Structure 1
Amino acid sequence: MNYKKNDSITITIEDMGHGGEGIGKIDGFPFFVKDAVIGDTIEAKVIKAKKNYAYARLMRLLQPSPHRVEPRCPYARQCGGCQIQALSYEQQLKFKENKVRNNLMRIGGYSEVPIEEVIGMEEPYFYRNKAQFPVGKDKDGNIIAGFYASRTHTIINNRKCFLGAEINEIILDKIIAYMTEWNVEPYDEVTGKGLVRHVLIRYGFQSGEIMVCLIVNGETLPKSEKLVESLRELEGMTSISLNVNKKRTNVILGEEIKVLWGQAYITDSIGDVKFQISPLSFYQVNPVQTKRLYERALAYAQLTGSETVWDLYCGIGTISLFLAQKAKQVYGVEIVPQAIEDARTNARLNGIENAAFYVGKAEEVLPEKYEKDGIYADVIVVDPPRKGCEESLLRTMVDMKPKRIVYVSCDSATLARDVKWLGENGYEMERVTVVDQFGMTVHVETAVLLVRKP
C-alpha cells in the first residue's frame, strides 16, 4: 500500500529508534512515531511519507504499553529536552543498552558485545548541574523563560525543569521579577533588539556553590545592583556575571565575561578532585554519574603508578586529573585554549604535578609529540566529541603501540566505527560499560577497553 500525508493508521509499537521515536510496521512498512513507546497500540496520522518508510504523529493512545509511565513534566511532549520521559526508567536503561550493543554489532561488526554492566542513576531527575534558559515574551507581552519546543525557537514558558537543579526555578523567578520591575527587555531574535538573551545557571552538587550568568546583547545591565541584591539572598550564591553576545547568531555564549559580583567561577569536585568552573568551561553536567564513568575508565586503564598516559580531548582535565592520581605521568590534549588554562589551574588547585597539558588538535599534537619528541604511551584514554576520532589520530594511536586504549564515548555509532578500525589494526575489544548520564533522554555514555593483541 502507498501511504500519503494525513493518512490515519492504527499501529503497535515494536521498537524504538535512536532518537527515542517509536517504530511500528504495517505489512513490513515502518512508521516512526514521536512520543510512542514500545508496547503502545496507537492511532497516528502520517505527516511525511517516503518510499520505504514514513513519519507519523501520535493522535490517540488506544492501548498503553506496560512500560509507559506518566511524565513528571507537563511539557515533556512539547519540549525538546526529554525524548523518553514517558518510558519507565528500567526500560530506558534497556533501550540504551540495546542502542550501544546494536551499534557495536551493526557498525562495529562484532557478533558478541562484552557489556559488563549498565550503570543507571539512583535518582534520574534533578541531576543536571547546568542549565541554559532562553528569555523572551509571550503573546501578551509578559516576560517568560524556559526551553525551546522541539526543533523550534519557540519558548515554552517553564521555569521548573525536572532534570535541572531545583534552585533554578527560584533564580529565574528573581530574574524575571527584576526585569519586569526595571523594564529590562528580553532579546528578540527576529529584530535583534532587546537585552537579555539567556540565563546560564551552574550549581555545584558537592560544594553547594551557585553561578548565575546573564547572556546579554549589550555591555551593561541597568540597575544591576538590584538584581545582585536579590540573588545574594540565596544561600550558596558565589558568582554573578554577564556574558556579552551582541552577534546575530544562534550561538548562546559570547567570549567576554563581566563579573557583577563575587568570583568569575565556582568550584565543585568529582571524587577527590576539585575543579574551577567558569561560565565558558566544559564540565560534565551529571557529576554523580560522571564519577562512576571515570572510576570505570580508571579501572579499565589498570594503572600501577609506572605508566605514561595520554588523555585526548581532555577538556578542563576532568579525566586527566583522575588518571594522574594513579599514573606516573599524564599528558592532556585539547583544542580550546581556555579549557587548557582551566586544566592547568585545576592541576595546581589539587597539587597534581604529574599532569601536563597541550593546546591543539589531538590529531595534530599526538603525531608531532610521537614523531618529533619520541613521547610514547602505555595507556591512551580518548573522549572525543560526537563525531568521534579522525582516522589520522587512530593511526598514530596504533603506531604508539599502547598496551591499552580506553575509549569513552557520547555517541555509540561513531564509537562503533572507531572500535572497528582499531580492531582491524591490532586491538581487541575486551570490556564495555554503559553509563546513563542523561536520564529521560536518548543520550548515553559508553566506556570501552581495547587491549593490544599479542
Structure 2
Amino acid sequence: MRCDYYRAGVCRSCTHLEVPYPEQVVAKDRRVRDLLSAVVPADAWRVPFVGPESGFRNKAKLVAGGTTGAVTLGILDPPGRGVDLRECGLHEAAIVAALLPLAGFIDDIGLIPYAVPERRGELKHVLVTAAPGGALMIRFVLRSTAQLALIRNRLGLLLDSVPGADVVSVNIQPEHKAILEGEREIILSPNDSLRMPLGPVPLYLQPGGFFQTNTVVAQGLYAQATSWIADAEPGTVWDIYCGVGGFALHAAYEGRRVAGIELSPSAIAAAQRSAADLGLDEGQAVFRVEDAGASADTLPGPPGVVVVNPPRRGLDADLVRWLDDCPAQTMIYSSCNPQTLARDLAALSRWTVREARLFDMFPQTDHSEVAVLLGRAGS
C-alpha cells in the first residue's frame, strides 16, 4: 500500500507499511502460532484468512483540528495541532468520498474545532462508519451542546451533500481527556441504526455500538464459524458476548436454534431487529441483556455449540468454570487478543483445540484476530 502521509512522515500509525503485505501475513501468523504453541497443536492451524491490504476499514475515527472554517480531519501532531488525513488509504472508498464534503459542511456551518493545547473549542472527533453498499453513519463528538443547533438546523444540507449519509448523531464528551466519546448520544436523523448486511444476514449498528472494522474479513470469520457449527450439527447454539448477534444470526440463517447474551441493551435490540428481519420467532432466536460472565446458564438450551467472543480482557474466571461444566460438546472462541486467548485456553481444562485460524482484520499492524475450534478433551 502506498501512503503519501507515511512517506512525508506526518503519520506513522501503520507500523508495517514498508513490509510487503504477504510477508506481513506470514510474520503475523508465525507470531500467533508461537504465542499459542503451548495450547494449540501445530497441526491445528489453517491457512490465514486475509482481505485487501488497503481500503478495508469501515470505520474512520478522525480527530478534528485546524481552525473555524479550515478544519482538519485526521490526527494531532505532538504539539496537539491537527494533521489532515482525509485521504487515508486504510478507509473504504465510501468514507474517503464523504470526507471532503463533510469537511466542507463543518466549515460552512462554523463548527469550532477543539484546540487541545488551549482547551478551547467544540468539535473533538468525527466518526464515520460505512455499510456494505455505501450507506454511512456520521457522529460528531462535541465538548458541549453549545453548537448542537448548528448541526440540527442544517441536517438536511448534510444529508444532501454527503454521499450515503444515513444516520447522523451528536455525542457529548465534555472532559479534557484522551477519550473518544462520552455517554450522551443525540440522534438527529430519522434513522437511528445503520443497516450492515453481511451476505444473507442483515445486521444493525447503532451509534456507539461495536462492529468489526474490516467487513471482508468479518464475513470470512462468520463463514468459518458457520462451517464449524454445521459440522457439529447442534440443535442449539449459544452466542456469549453476542454483540449485535453476528455469529448467532448466521447460524440461525442455516436453520439452527440460537440464543445470545450481551450486556449492551442497544446491541441486543439490534440483534432482535435482525432476527425479525429474518422471520425468526422466539422459538428460533432469543437474545437477552445479561452479564455474559454471570448469566450464561439462563439461556434456553441445552447448547450443542457455544460461541464466545469476549472483549480484549478475555473470559471471566467464573465463565471459564461454567464452560468446563456446560453440556456443549463444541466451542468456538473468537479473540482479538492472543495473550488472553492463550491464558483462557490453558484454563479450559476440559477442552482441547481442534482447529485454529488467523483472520487478519488489521493489515499494516501487529493486531490479530484468531478463531479457535475446541472439542471435549478425550472425545
Structure 1 length as normaliser, TM-score? 0.75
Candidates 50, 55, 66, aligned match of 1:126: 55
2:314 counterpart letter in structure 1: G
Candidates 76, 79, 86, aligned match of 2:11: 79
2:280 counterpart letter in structure 1: I
Candidates 422, 426, 429, aligned match of 2:353: 429
- Structure 1 residue aligned with 2:286: 356
Cα RMSD (Å) of the superposition?
2.6
CA contact (8 A) 2:128 2:137 kept: yes
CA contact (8 A) 1:334 1:360 kept: yes
- Structure 1 residue aligned with 2:362: 438
CA contact (8 A) 2:354 2:375 kept: yes
Inter-partner Cα distance in structure 1 for 2:4 and 2:229: 40
2:44 counterpart letter in structure 1: P
- Structure 2 residue aligned with 1:337: 265
More strand by share: 1
CA contact (8 A) 2:158 2:165 kept: no
Inter-partner Cα distance in structure 1 for 2:367 and 2:250: 24
The structure-2 alpha-carbon separation of the partners of 1:190 and 1:376, relative to structure 1 and needing over 3 Å to count, comes to farther
CA contact (8 A) 1:306 1:327 kept: no
CA contact (8 A) 1:305 1:327 kept: no
1:26-425 to 2 correspondences below 5 Å: 71-75=2-6, 78-79=10-11, 81-105=13-37, 108-109=38-39, 112-121=42-51, 123-137=52-66, 142-148=70-76, 155-205=82-132, 207-219=133-145, 220-222=148-150, 224-226=152-154, 228-302=156-230, 306-326=234-254, 328-353=256-281, 354-367=284-297, 369=298, 375-422=301-348, 425=349
Q: Deviations over 1:89-112 (max 9, x none)?
A: 11111011111101111xx35563
SS at match of 1:117: coil
TM-fit CA distance, 1:234: 3.8
CA contact (8 A) 1:329 1:355 kept: yes
Paired positions, count: 373
Higher relative contact order structure (alpha carbons within 8 Å, sequence separation ≥ 6): 2
1:446 counterpart letter in structure 2: V
CA contact (8 A) 2:53 2:363 kept: yes
- Structure 2 residue aligned with 1:50: none
SS at match of 1:99: helix
Uncovered stretches (5+) of structure 2, i.e. residues with no partner: none
CA contact (8 A) 2:40 2:353 kept: no
Q: Deviations over 1:105-140 (max 9, x none)?
A: 1xx35563521111122x2111111111110127x9
Inter-partner Cα distance in structure 2 for 1:130 and 1:327: 31
SS at match of 2:312: coil
CA contact (8 A) 2:202 2:277 kept: yes
The structure-2 alpha-carbon separation of the partners of 1:426 and 1:305, relative to structure 1 and needing over 3 Å to count, comes to closer
Inter-partner Cα distance in structure 2 for 1:260 and 1:447: 38
Q: Larger C-alpha radius of gyration, 1 or 2?
A: 1
1:90 counterpart letter in structure 2: P
Inter-partner Cα distance in structure 1 for 2:151 and 2:107: 12
The structure-2 alpha-carbon separation of the partners of 1:103 and 1:175, relative to structure 1 and needing over 3 Å to count, comes to same
SS at match of 1:449: strand
The structure-2 alpha-carbon separation of the partners of 1:208 and 1:159, relative to structure 1 and needing over 3 Å to count, comes to closer
TM-fit CA distance, 1:325: 2.2
Uncovered stretches (5+) of structure 1, i.e. residues with no partner: 1-69
The structure-2 alpha-carbon separation of the partners of 1:154 and 1:80, relative to structure 1 and needing over 3 Å to count, comes to farther
Inter-partner Cα distance in structure 2 for 1:174 and 1:236: 11
SS at match of 1:118: coil
- Structure 2 residue aligned with 1:7: none
- Structure 1 residue aligned with 2:373: 449
SS at match of 1:343: helix
Residue identity (%): 26
CA contact (8 A) 2:57 2:213 kept: yes
Structure 2 length as normaliser, TM-score? 0.89
CA contact (8 A) 1:201 1:211 kept: yes
The structure-2 alpha-carbon separation of the partners of 1:110 and 1:200, relative to structure 1 and needing over 3 Å to count, comes to closer
The structure-2 alpha-carbon separation of the partners of 1:401 and 1:302, relative to structure 1 and needing over 3 Å to count, comes to same
More helix by share: 2
TM-fit CA distance, 1:185: 0.9
SS at match of 1:137: strand
More displaced stretch, 127-136 vs 242-251: 242-251
1:335 counterpart letter in structure 2: L
CA contact (8 A) 2:3 2:88 kept: no
Inter-partner Cα distance in structure 1 for 2:62 and 2:105: 16
CA contact (8 A) 1:135 1:146 kept: yes
The structure-2 alpha-carbon separation of the partners of 1:327 and 1:378, relative to structure 1 and needing over 3 Å to count, comes to farther
SS at match of 2:48: strand
